[in-house]
Structure 1
Amino acid sequence: MSIIVALDFDNRQAADDIVEKLGDACGFYKVGLELLTAVGPEVIRELIGAGKEVFLDLKLFEIPTSVAHAVRAAGALGVTMVTVHAMAGATIMEAAVEAAKDYPGLKIAALTVVTSLTDADLAQVGVRSSVESQVVRLAQLAEKAGCPAMVASPREIHLLRTVINKETLIVTPGITLDPTTEHARSATPAEAIRAGADHLVIGRSITHAADPVAAIQGAERSKA
């Protein structure tokens, strides 16, 4: 079980400051589109050079060749996990999994349904099923494509644990220490752990806390 701290910043200084503040209290960070676009891949190289693991949240959704090239680029950086949209389909996920084989330790995490979406949001884009049903459908498709990890909200973990292999990792965003959140399907660390999460992605509850070390330590205590 790991806590992944989300470096959701638009500048290098803010990211560096939180990494410095957390020090040895955190060994795993999420780098997403915001930080990567703002400052480039050097931030990833430096995190890995400092002995940290990186969850690269690219949410890849492109033609198979492009996805495979992006996965290889992520592998060359030394990241631990990279995300691919399960909605992209089996062929694209299979291409990602195959590309990852060139980099031992690199895992493809299939994103099911992002945590901000509701049943009504899915209906707007023509998906005529509930969030839960869509998460299960996509997770099973991703598992058949060979993805060793899934990304799903805390609200679907328990259900997923009944339909996917027990070895499949579940990475869970939407984890909050604060009831005020933009995630429609959020939970506390303790709730997600009880449901069966393997990795908890926590952002502002830690990075914007008055004492980030105390915040991550509090989240860690939930794992006991």
Structure 2
Amino acid sequence: MGRSIIVALDYSTREEIRSFLKEFQQESLFVKVGMEAFYQFGPSLVEEIKEQDHQLFLDLKLHDIPNTVKKAMKGLAGLGVDLVNVHAAGGRDMMQSALEGLEAGSPSGKNRAMCIGVTHLTSTSEEMLKQELHINKRMKDAVVSLASLTKASGLDGVVSSALEVPWIKKACGQSFLTVTPGIRLEGDLAQDQKRVATPSKARSLGSDFIVVGRSITAAENPYEAYYKVKKDWEGSYVS
């Protein structure tokens, strides 16, 4: 699974999702289906997208007791998605159970989906971390702590801000995946995100995947916006 842009399909209707994907009939995208779309349209949306030969990140951030997460992951594995996630704060037993569920539910002869742990949401500020969550650490230390736990639990990587990627790579190794939302083109509003970066900045920091939503999907021309993001992302690549 190489470095890529993941487009967050954060639309309110199924028709909007279909309309967006219709613009990309001639190529394979990596897209993200989150809670909003999955809770409304269910597994049939995932199946429809996979039939169009797109890679898919099912972003449900599972966080429950280990047995419940294991059973949920076993069911999700049958959908043939490429990437799933859990909240790393659920702990080692929960994360290991997630992997067990994925292995058990994966179709015969196929590799399980990649599984990553969410560290701290990119909408979380340093102030919120301390005053609301009562975590008396710097953001980078809190993120690296959860990333290290995620790696020790056997998962493939984490979700974090691009800003924490260098420390995650230092602690967990270069092969440990970093999937970074909170990506904005230069001049775009941060909106509800706090820890943001441009595509080129994320690449220079070492992100393996960037998740881009509104900078593409809310653009007047999403097709052109996608390629603008792609150019910024790939332009900082050094072979």
Would the TM-score normalized by the shorter structure come out above 0.5? Answer: yes
The yes-or-no answer on 1:36 pairing with 2:32 is no
1:179: how far off? Answer: 2.9
Deviations 1:148-194 (A, max 9, x none): 12111111112211111211111110111243022100100000001
CA–CA distance in structure 1, aligned partners of residues 27 and 179 of structure 2: 20
1:126 Cα deviation after fit = 1.9
Greater CA drift, 146-155 or 93-102:
93-102
| Pairing 1:173–2:181 present | yes
Counterparts of 2:199 and 2:25, CA distance in 1: 21
* Structure 2 counterpart SS, 1:99: helix
Give the deviation of 1:45 after TM superposition: 0.5
CA–CA separation in structure 1 for the residues paired with 2:14 and 2:84: 21
Root-mean-square deviation (Å)? 1.3
* Contact 1:22–1:212, Cα closer than 8 Å, also in 2: no
Asked if 1:130 corresponds to 2:132, the answer is no
SS in 1 for 2:136: coil
Stretches of structure 1 that go unaligned for 5 or more consecutive residues are none
Q: Output the CA distance in 2 between the equivalents of 1:184 and 1:48.
A: 32
Superposition misfits of 4+ residues, deviation over 4 angstroms? none
Q: How does 1:98-177 map to 2 (within 5 A)?
A: 98-102=100-104, 103=106, 104-123=111-130, 124-177=132-185
CA deviations 1:101-136 (Å, max 9, x no partner) are 232141111000000001221221221112211100
Q: The residue matched to 1:214 in structure 2 has which SS?
A: helix
- Any unmatched runs of 5+ in structure 2? none
Query: Retained in 2: the 8 A contact 1:25–1:217?
Result: no
Q: Percent identity over the alignment?
A: 33
Q: Which residue number in structure 2 is paired with residue 215 of structure 1?
A: 225
What is the CA distance between 1:26 and its match in structure 2? 5.0
Give the Cα–Cα distance (whole angstroms) in 2 for the partners of residues 210 and 25 of structure 1. 21
Q: Give the drift of 1:32.
A: 0.4
Matched, 1:203 2:219: no
C-alpha separation in 2, matches of 1:46 and 1:139: 33
Q: Quick one: distance in 2 between partners of 1:67 and 1:186?
A: 30
* Aligned equivalents of 2:28, 2:225: Cα separation in 1: 11
